Amino acid sequence: MNLKRVVVTGIGALTPIGNTAEEFWRGLSMGVSGAAPISKFDASKFKTQFACEVKNLDVEQFIDRKEARKMDPFTQYAMISVDEAMTDSGLDLDKIDKSRAGVIWGSGIGGLRTFQDEVTDFALGDGTPRFNPFFIPKMIADISAGFISIKYGFRGPNFCTVSACASATNALIDAFNYIRLGQADLFISGGSEATVTEAGVGGFNAMKALSQRNDSPETASRPFDKDRDGFVLGEGAGALILEEYEHAVARGAKIYAEIVGGGMSADANHITAPHPEGLGASSVMKAALKDANLSPESIDYINVHGTSTPLGDLSEVKAIQNVFGEHAYKLNISSTKSMTGHLLGATGAIEAIACILAIKNSLVPPTINHFTDDEAIDPKLNLTFNKAQSREISYALSNTFGFGGHNCSVIFKKHN
């Protein structure tokens, strides 16, 4: 079958280190940490009292107040990032076939703030079932995709992917497949998350998943460091416009990069812990390479899942060495979660954008907060510690792995 080519023609980002794609990239290239004490609620009684929050955001600058009240923050974040991506793409909505334009959006948790607030209000009341009529539509994970399609009139495939921290990459791969199979011309895809709430922080604390480095939040996310003690919770959104190549060329679109392959796998091991030898991570990277018809030696940069957890980072390094062999020592590898924290279901979208902008700018963003080598990690690997490195990047691979053993990898190619 003659598969179509798929390119990225617009990007938008709302992150803890920048509220636009340009600001996000500036923060990445400079090695800025987005972690700080939590401002959204009193976290003084929590084991973890900090997070990577979106900062200096006035939602009503982007969304009408009445409309915003119908949305959980995760949908507000989605709409803001999509607005930037659509503007960036230069799409003329009057000149496209909207029946061949779709939305596939990822969120691992959905409207946690809405769920928490509504259930708390009920529990503290007199038992009378008084609920906001927007409770369910604000909470459900698919609603961001619905709002996006309504705003832009896209009548093609429309759904949400939920695969924990792999959700946004899942969404991108699904959109990629629809387009290359000729079933659509373009998609808005990406992911959003807004879980910096009492329930979010308390729940992840109970799992012992979060860093508790309250005395130094800005250095708490330290992937591959010997003293890493868990991930830092983040929030935000990333949006990408994926478009069939000929469709993009015909309208004179700016092209950031091409998507050339995607892979999915399962660890089939544990509900939260990765396979200790990285078997699922190995198989998903191999699947992405096979899908792209590339050898491991083609890859220049890997944006790793790299959450700063003791087990996860080590498992991923083992997988990279298994898949890439001696070429692993020629790769640049970095975890941008050291700066953004972990955006859960949105993480794959902003890390895809990080890969695309790394290709565009010939610059590998760093893994910040490295202080002490972990003797269990091969010192010959270039984990791009503490400072960005200049490098021509022809192909970049992005890994995202989720609770439940969900793994996704996607490969981007430099567009010449």
DSSP string, 111-158: -HHHHHHHHHHHHTTTS-----TTHHHHHSTTHHHHHHHHHHT--S-E
Residues 6+ positions from 200 with CB-CB distance below 8 Å: 109, 112, 233
Sign of CA dihedral 26, 28, 30, 35: positive
Phi first, then psi, for residue 8 (nearest 5°) are -100, 120
Distances (CA, A) of 46 to 51, 115, 154, 165: 12, 20, 43, 23
Query: In this structure, which amino acid lies at residue 104?
Result: I
To the query of whether residue 165 is one of the catalytic residues in this protein, the response is yes
Query: What SS3 string covers 31-100?
Result: CCCCCEECCCCCCCCCCCCEEECCCCCCHHHCCCHHHHCCCCHHHHHHHHHHHHHHHHHCCCHHHCCHHH
Q: What are the tokens at 222?
A: 């330290």
| Structure token digits, residue 107 | 């969120």
| 52, 160, 165, 355: the active-site residue | 165
d(CA 189, CA 82): 9
Are 22 and 328 within 8 A, CB to CB? Answer: no
- Residue 416: strand, helix, or coil: coil
- Give the C-alpha separation, 363 to 355, whole Å: 10
Measured distance CA(198)–CA(178) in Å, rounded: 38
Tell me how far apart the 2 most distant CA atoms of the chain are, in Å: 66
Give the residue from 334, 337, 410 showing the smallest Cα distance to 366.
334
Enzyme catalytic residues: 165
